[in-house]
Amino acid sequence: MRGQGVFDDQPASFDKDYTSSIRDLPVPLITHEIGQYSVFPNLKEIKKYTGNLMPLNFRAVVQDLEKKRRLYLADDYLMASGKLAVILYKEEIERALKTPGFSGFQLLDLHDFPGQGTALVGILDAFWESKGLITPEEFRRFCSPVVPLARFEKATYMNNETLDVQFEVANFSEKKLMQMQPLWSLSRTDGIVLAEGELSRQDISVGNGWVLGHVSVPLSKVTDAARLVLTIEFKDTEYRNAWDIWVYPEAIPPLEDNVVYTRNFADARKALEQGKKVLLNPVKEEINGLEGKFVQVFWSPVHFPNQPGTMGILCDPSHPALLHFPTEMHSNWQWWDICKNARTIELDSVKENLQPIVRMVDNFYKNRNLGLIFEVRVGEGKLLFCSTDLGNNMENRPVARQMYYSLLAYMQSDRFNPSEEVSFKQVQEALYDAIRKEETEKSIYDSE
């Protein structure tokens, strides 16, 4: 009863708990070793080893990154994979706290474990010190004796929808809380409040599943794609919690018709030879690459090698290609559709050390140069390659539709001017795989 596989197999949903798994259970249940979301090594930790124990594992990672000329990315890899791990731990813990009759949970682990292939599954490092991923105060918002909670259907919405929320609280403090005043709000990331209110003042007994109230917020005020923050707190206390949601416009603004969008390599070649701008977005099954994953490596890529091995996205949110696609530098819930409906590309197969617009962090065991979106100049033409599906079922995939719009808007601007140059033959030989064999999923517990 933990979210490890669920968070990768199903899109984000915040109205779930583990009730069905513990129904009719005659004994108390404490979940064992929840989490285990691996984080890229904090290579600055090496200097902390001053005794007999030597960080040979971390030193090997440094040597490998130096050889591949990517050591400069190590800090960003740490933050991108670590921020995603925090997001997953938060939802893992909150699902437990929402489950009536749940007796407790045991994290594996709050800090890293250097053994069993190097298990960097902690929010803290092996010395019980911060990696800079989250503050103690932020962590206590969802892991403390009193935690305000929220149930709502999904993470991504269109602006013709309504956000329906049921607020709850888990109180595992030593006493009943008297006359608590819940306050809620929905705000933009710049602090502008779109909606707010008070729920009824109430006493909160020890236990969980206590419903504070319901709210419904029409999202029509959001005209441009945006990340919003839903907040619940108890007035004049430290108890508060928050969640991100993403809202996308139902109607996408029209664009000029000066970019060729195609899923076909031959058509892309022809357009590039004519000096055109091309967005090449092949069907996933024809792309040579790794399985698309949202959740990062389980436990350790060394101890459990049969994993695709990626650890979330890394991007520059200010890149003009992402101007109309609200994002942080790391994966958050809105990236689920993008990551899962993609093949992860090994970029060095196209050109050594090719720098992508959207990178996938590889695990520290392999340190490959991976990505989802990159741009290159091909002769007189300009190519943007996207390995996530931007062609199927777009009316029901607002995130993919918004990504498509953002990429096209960028390509139609003067800012689309790739500096790297490759031949189309290189692109096609590296990435086109029309006879892909059906993949058989292996257990991560089996050896390679």
Whether 1 is in a domain gets the answer no
Question: Percentage of residues in the chain with pLDDT exceeding 90?
Answer: 81
Q: Which residues pair with 183 in a beta bridge?
A: 198, 233
pLDDT at residue 299 in the model:
81
- In 10 A of CB 275, how many CB atoms? 11
pLDDT at residue 1 in the model:
67
Question: Do both 335 and 361 map to the same domain?
Answer: yes
Question: How many Å apart are CA 296 and CA 363, to the nearest integer?
Answer: 9
Contact 130, 124 (CB under 8 A): yes
The residue segments making up the domain with residue 420 are 259-431
pLDDT at residue 442 in the model:
59
Tally of structural domains, the chain: 3
> Could you say which of 139, 172, 197 is where a domain stops?
139
CATH number for the domain harbouring residue 194: 2.60.40.2550
Kindly report, residue by residue over 183-219, the tens digit of the pLDDT: 999 999 999 999 999 999 999 999 999 999 999 999 9
21 vs 68: which has the higher pLDDT: 68
- The one-letter amino acid code at 372 reads L
Question: Do both 203 and 292 map to the same domain?
Answer: no
> Could you say which of 248, 282, 302 is where a domain stops?
248
Question: How many Å apart are CA 178 and CA 185, to the nearest integer?
Answer: 22
Question: Do both 195 and 320 map to the same domain?
Answer: no
pLDDT at residue 272 in the model:
97
Whether 437 is in a domain gets the answer no
Q: Which tokens go with 256?
A: 């000029």
Question: Do both 322 and 242 map to the same domain?
Answer: no
Whether 439 is in a domain gets the answer no
Question: Do both 166 and 62 map to the same domain?
Answer: no
Q: Which tokens go with 363?
A: 């695990």
Question: Do both 423 and 274 map to the same domain?
Answer: yes
pLDDT at residue 303 in the model:
80
Kindly report, residue by residue over 366-393, the tens digit of the pLDDT: 999 999 999 999 999 999 999 999 999 9
pLDDT at residue 434 in the model:
64
Question: Percentage of residues in the chain with pLDDT exceeding 70?
Answer: 96
> Could you say which of 196, 226, 248 is where a domain stops?
248
Whether 254 is in a domain gets the answer no
- Look at residue 332 and give its three-state secondary structure: coil
Residue 192, class by beta-carbon neighbours within 10 Å (0-12 exposed, 13-18 middle, 19+ buried)? exposed
- Model confidence band, residue 440 (pLDDT cutoffs 50, 70, 90): low
CA 317 to chain centre: 14
Question: Do both 186 and 129 map to the same domain?
Answer: no
- Model confidence band, residue 253 (pLDDT cutoffs 50, 70, 90): confident
Whether 147 is in a domain gets the answer no
Angle (CA) 245 411 155, round 5° = 10
Instruction: Report the pLDDT averaged over residues 278-298.
Output: 93
State the residue for tokens 């069905």: 20
State the residue for tokens 């993470």: 155
Task: Please count the residues of the chain.
Answer: 448
Question: Do both 54 and 158 map to the same domain?
Answer: no
Question: Do both 63 and 127 map to the same domain?
Answer: yes
Whether 175 is in a domain gets the answer yes
pLDDT at residue 4 in the model:
67
Question: Do both 162 and 190 map to the same domain?
Answer: yes
Question: Do both 69 and 214 map to the same domain?
Answer: no
User: Beta strand 240-248 with 226-234: parallel, antiparallel or unpaired?
Assistant: antiparallel
pLDDT at residue 116 in the model:
83
Q: Looking at 148-152, 175-179, 182-186, 249-253, which range is the least confident one?
A: 249-253
Tell me: pLDDT of 256 over 90.
no
Question: Do both 103 and 76 map to the same domain?
Answer: yes
Question: How many Å apart are CA 423 and CA 19, to the nearest integer?
Answer: 55
Instruction: Report the pLDDT averaged over residues 332-346.
Output: 97
Instruction: Report the pLDDT averaged over residues 340-369.
Output: 95
Whether 146 is in a domain gets the answer no
Whether 448 is in a domain gets the answer no
Question: How many Å apart are CA 232 and CA 150, to the nearest integer?
Answer: 8
Q: Which residues pair with 169 in a beta bridge?
A: 148, 210
Question: How many Å apart are CA 173 and CA 302, to the nearest integer?
Answer: 40
